[in-house]
Amino acid sequence: MTLTHNLKQEARRLGFDFVGVTRPVLPPGYPVYEGWLEAGHHGEMGYLASDRARVRRADLNQVLPEVKTILVLGIHHSNPQQASPGQDDRSYGRMAAYAWGDDYHEVLPARLQALIAFLEVQTGLPVPNRWYTDTGPVLERDLASLAGIGWIGKNSMLINPKAGSYFLLAEIFLGIALETDPPFESDHCGSCTRCIEACPTSCILPNRTLDARRCISYLTIELKGAIPPELRPQMENWIFGCDVCQEVCPWNLRFAPGGGDDQFAPRPRLPLIELQSELSLSAAEFNRKFKASPVKRSKRRGYLRNVAVALGNSADYAVIPTVIQTLQNDPEALVRGHAAWALGRLASDASRQGLIAARQTETDEGVLEEIDAALSAW
C-alpha cells in the first residue's frame, strides 16, 4: 500500500489529476465494443478491427505477458466553456478544446516514462511495463471506470462526478502488484438526454456508443476522403473535432474546472481560427502553424477540406472570391471538391460563374462531380 500511495503521489506531482489502479481483467464493455465493430460503426478506422488489436483487447496479457496491475491516469485539458470562440460568429472555425494546446501524444509519454522510472527506484528493480495514451488496442474508458475514475456516459465519454469529462487518459501496464481501487459502479446520467438531443448529426447510439461515421470528430479527423454531402451542413463551423455533447453535459456545466494542464493551454492564435485566411494556408504554413499540435493529424488536405465546409456553412458571401480561388488553384482535389460544395451553398451569380469557369479546366472526376452537384443549386 505504501508503494501504491507513493506512486499515486508522484503521478499527481507530475500533473495527473486522476490516478487509479485496476487488475488486467476483461472489461465489461468488451462485448458491446465487439458488437460496435461488427456493426461497422468504426467507419474507416480499420486499425480498430484488426485481428491483432482484437486479440489484445480480449486478453490483456497479450499486451504485457507479465502484467499484474494497470495504472490508469487522467489529466485535464482546456475547458471550452472558458471561452467558446467561433460559436456564434460563423466567420471563425471551432476546434475541440483538447486541440487548443500541445499534442497529448507528445506531452504525456515523458511523464509516463518518468513515473515508471520513479517506480523502479522505489522497488530497486526493473519493472516490466507498457504504456499507452490513445495509442494502443485497449479500452481506455472501461479500464478507467474499473480503476474508479468515473462512469461512461450516454455520449460514450468518461465522466468524473467531481470534474466532468474534459480530461485525457493514459495507462501503464505493470508487471508488479499494486493496491487496486474499487470500480466506479454508479451511473449518474439518470434520465438526462441533453447530449443525445444536442448532437448535430444524431450520432449517439442507445448503448453509450457512437456511430463514428456520423460523428463530427470522426468526419473532421479520422475520415481521409470526402465528407458525405448530407452531413456537411450539420458540421456547422467545426473544423477539428467537436465538443457539443460535452458542452451541454450538466456534469461539465457544474463541475468542470476552469482550465487544465499548462501544456494544453491554448496556443497563440488558437482557438480563434479565421476561416477565410485559413483556406489559403500553404503546406509549409500549415506544418509551421500546427507543429506539435493535434491538428497536424488531419494533414493540410483534411484540414482545408473542413475549412471549406465551414465556409460553405458560414452564410458569408464576402468569402466567395477566396473559395473560388481555392477551387481553381488548390493542389489537392479533396480541397477543391469541398470548395465547390461551399460555393453551391453560397449560391450567387459570382459562385455560379466561379463554378462554371473551374469546370472548364478541372480534370479530376471527383471534383467535377462536386461542381456539377453545386451547379444544380441553380
What mean pLDDT is predicted for residues 358-371? 98
Domain assignment of residue 8, yes or no: yes
Domain assignment of residue 86, yes or no: no
134 has catalytic annotation: yes
Given a cut of 90, whether residue 85 has pLDDT beyond it is: no
Domain finish residue from 174, 189, 224:
174
- pLDDT at residue number 86: 52
Given a cut of 90, whether residue 105 has pLDDT beyond it is: yes
Domain assignment of residue 204, yes or no: no
Q: Catalytic pick from 89, 134, 187, 372?
A: 134
Instruction: Tell me the C-alpha distance between 155 and 158, whole Å.
Output: 9
Range of the domain at 14: 2-78+98-174
- pLDDT at residue number 87: 58
Given a cut of 70, whether residue 242 has pLDDT beyond it is: yes
- pLDDT at residue number 272: 80
Q: What is the CB neighbour count within 10 angstroms for residue 180? A: 16
Given a cut of 90, whether residue 89 has pLDDT beyond it is: no
- pLDDT at residue number 258: 84
Domain assignment of residue 140, yes or no: yes
C-alpha cell at 208: 453509450
Instruction: Tell me the C-alpha distance between 278 and 269, whole Å.
Output: 12
Domain finish residue from 118, 151, 174:
174
Same domain, 155 and 287: no
Given a cut of 70, whether residue 342 has pLDDT beyond it is: yes
Domain assignment of residue 22, yes or no: yes
Given a cut of 90, whether residue 82 has pLDDT beyond it is: no
What mean pLDDT is predicted for residues 93-114? 96
Instruction: Tell me the C-alpha distance between 27 and 138, whole Å.
Output: 9
- pLDDT at residue number 74: 98
Domain finish residue from 109, 142, 174:
174
The pairing of beta strand 92-95 with beta strand 238-240:
parallel
Question: Which H or E element spans position 227?
Answer: none
- pLDDT at residue number 271: 73
Same domain, 30 and 154: yes
Over the stretch 267-302, which tens digit does the pLDDT of each residue have?
Answer: 887 778 999 999 999 999 999 999 999 999 999 999
Domain assignment of residue 186, yes or no: no
CB under 8 Å to 64, separation ≥6 — which residues? 128, 129, 130, 173, 174, 175
- pLDDT at residue number 378: 78
Domain assignment of residue 347, yes or no: yes
Given a cut of 80, whether residue 165 has pLDDT beyond it is: yes
Grade residue 259 by pLDDT with cuts at 50, 70 and 90. confident
| Domain count across the chain | 2
Instruction: Tell me the C-alpha distance between 71 and 149, whole Å.
Output: 11
Q: Let me know: does 78 contact 247? Beta carbons within 8 Å.
A: no
Nearest 5°: phi and psi at 336? -60, -40
71-80, 226-235, 250-259, 264-273, range with the lowest pLDDT: 264-273
Same domain, 149 and 291: no
What mean pLDDT is predicted for residues 54-71? 96
Instruction: Tell me the C-alpha distance between 265 and 98, whole Å.
Output: 9
Angle among Cα 333, 338, 343 to the nearest 5 degrees reads 125
Given a cut of 70, whether residue 88 has pLDDT beyond it is: no
Domain assignment of residue 132, yes or no: yes
The rounded mean pLDDT for the chain is 95
DSSP labels for 45-95? -GGGG-HHHHHHHH-GGGT-TT--EEEEEEEE---TTS--TTSS-TTEEEE
240-244, 267-271, 317-321, 370-374, range with the lowest pLDDT: 267-271
Same domain, 294 and 160: no
The pairing of beta strand 273-274 with beta strand 92-95:
antiparallel
What mean pLDDT is predicted for residues 224-240? 97
C-alpha cell at 73: 491516469
Percentage of the residues of the chain whose pLDDT score is greater than 70: 98
90-94, 105-109, 121-125, 192-196, range with the lowest pLDDT: 90-94
Note the pTM of the prediction, 2 decimals.
Answer: 0.95
